[in-house]
Structures are given as structure tokens and as C-alpha cells.
Homo-oligomer: A and B are copies of this chain.
Amino acid sequence: MDFLNQLKNDIEIVENWLAELAPKGGGYHSIIFESANYSISNGGKRIRPILAMEVCKLFDGNMENVKHYACALEFIHTYSLIHDDLPCMDNDDLRRGKPTNHKVYGDALAVLAGDGLLTYAFETVLKSPCNKNVEAGLCLAKLSGFDGMVGGQVIDIIGSTDKEMLIDLHRRKTGALISAGAYIGAISADAEEKDIDNVTQFAENLGLAFQIKDDLLDILGDEKTLGKPVGSDKDKQTFVDFYGIDRATEKLNEISEKAKDIISCYGNKSEFLIQLTDYLLNRNY
């Protein structure tokens, strides 16, 4: 199967898993399930669960063992988007072309949908048939918590004032959950310690490169299509602000090569992950 067909296939599998494991329920509070599922089903690249699945495959793991962990990761990602979009945070009205959760359900239910999804992510991990539930839950808690994704969002709110702070921000805000994907994929396949470290390092580099690409797209997209000056959309500092377009592009290529280099030790079996890296870092959207 060629890369794009396999990617399409992976996305389909993840969508089916999410539909199966998404929170469902009735009662007086049933609107909260509608609100949560509105955001879960709003597309997205599903990078994190696909990474978990593909790393599990890399070590010949069983898909049933990674399913719950991969979905939990996507639920955490979804909750973070709902909360990030709130008026008191980034105040975004649109996400992937559709009204954000709070625009449809109101701020209170958006806060609660996020809270519920975060809680439900841990329920999902702990209901997995895999025997790594404690390790997977701990990994997700650490990488999405105060010193992980939440910490990154805190730095984003404060505003980063130099390169080190910006890199720290993105390692936590984006990188942490991407490396969580690699980690839970590896442990669900009973990978050895050195392999777990290896794929986690791959994912950390992928995550950072992914963010630099985002910043570059933001600027280049703007300049081409809208002719807006750099950083006009948001008051936030980006890699392009600190490095300039040329140096940021160089850094993107450096880090992306490093990621591919780390994962290439698995020979033919790492082909999909190498192609995924190229795909994510050459995208134009």
C-alpha cells in the first residue's frame, strides 16, 4: 500500500475507534455528550493516535492493546482545544472552519465538556484490556499536566520573550502529547526500554519540527494569500519572529532530518513513520 493510502486507512481506523469509545449517555445532562462529541468529531489530522498505532505496529504490537490509549490521547487533545479556544484564553470563534465549542454550547458547557473529556480520557485508559494501564495513565497525566501541555499553555498565556522560552513552550504544549503518542504505542507493544526511549526522542523532534512548520505556514500562508505582515494575527511570538524565515526553515530541516535519522534504525519497518514525517513537514495547510 502506498503512503497516502495507508494514511487514509489509518485515519479510518482511528475514526472508528473514536466512534466506538467516545463518551455516550442520556439523562438530564445529556447535552454535555453532544457538546463533547461535537468537538471529537470535528476532523483534525489525528496525528497523535496514528503515531501511537504506527509505533505499536513497529514493535509488532496488538492493535487492541493500543486502541484505548490512542483514543484517550485524542480526547485529551480535544479537551485542550476546547479550553484553548475559550474567550478567556485564545478567544477563537472558528476551529477547522466550524464554530468553536463555546460558540455553539456557551462558555460554561465548553469548560465542562473539556473537564469531562479530560476525566474520561483517564477512564478510557484504565478500561483498556492492555496490561500497561498504570504506565499509560501516568505518561498521559505527566505529559498533559502542569509540567507538560498545561505548562506550555501557561507559557503561551504569559508570552515567551526569547528563543529558550519559546522552545520550552512548544516542547510542553505540542511536543509533550506527540511524544506521549510514541510512548504509549511502544509500551502497548511491550517494547524494550531502549526502543521506548528511541521512539520518544523521534517524536520529540517531530513535535518541535511540526510547530516550526506551523509558524512558517502561518507567515507564508498569510503573506501569499492575505499580504498581512508577520505576526499580525496574534500577539504571540513565533519561531519566525526569533529566527527569521530562512533560519527557521533551516532549523525545520535539521530537526526533521534528526527525527528521521533516529527512527531509521528499524529499517523497512520505519518507512511509514519516515514518510509521515516528510508528509507533515512538507504540508501546505
Contacts and interface: CB of A to CB of B under 8 A. Distances in A.
Interface string A102-137: 000011110110111011101100110000011001
A138 interface: yes
B88 A108 contact: yes
Nearest to A83: B111
Interface stretch (A42-50, A141-149, A207-215, A275-283): A141-149
A172 B275 CA distance: 48
Contacts of A27: 147, 151, 168
A29 interface: yes
A141 B140 CA distance: 14
B29 A152 contact: yes
Contacts of A89: 108, 111
Interface residues of A, number: 54
Interface stretch (A30-38, A53-61, A241-249, A255-263): A30-38
A120 B122 CA distance: 11
Contacts of A87: 88
A102 to B, nearest CB: 8
Interface stretch (A93-101, A154-162, A180-188): A154-162
A165 interface: yes
A267 interface: no
A126 B115 contact: no
A28 B150 contact: no
A84 B169 CA distance: 28
A133 B146 CA distance: 21
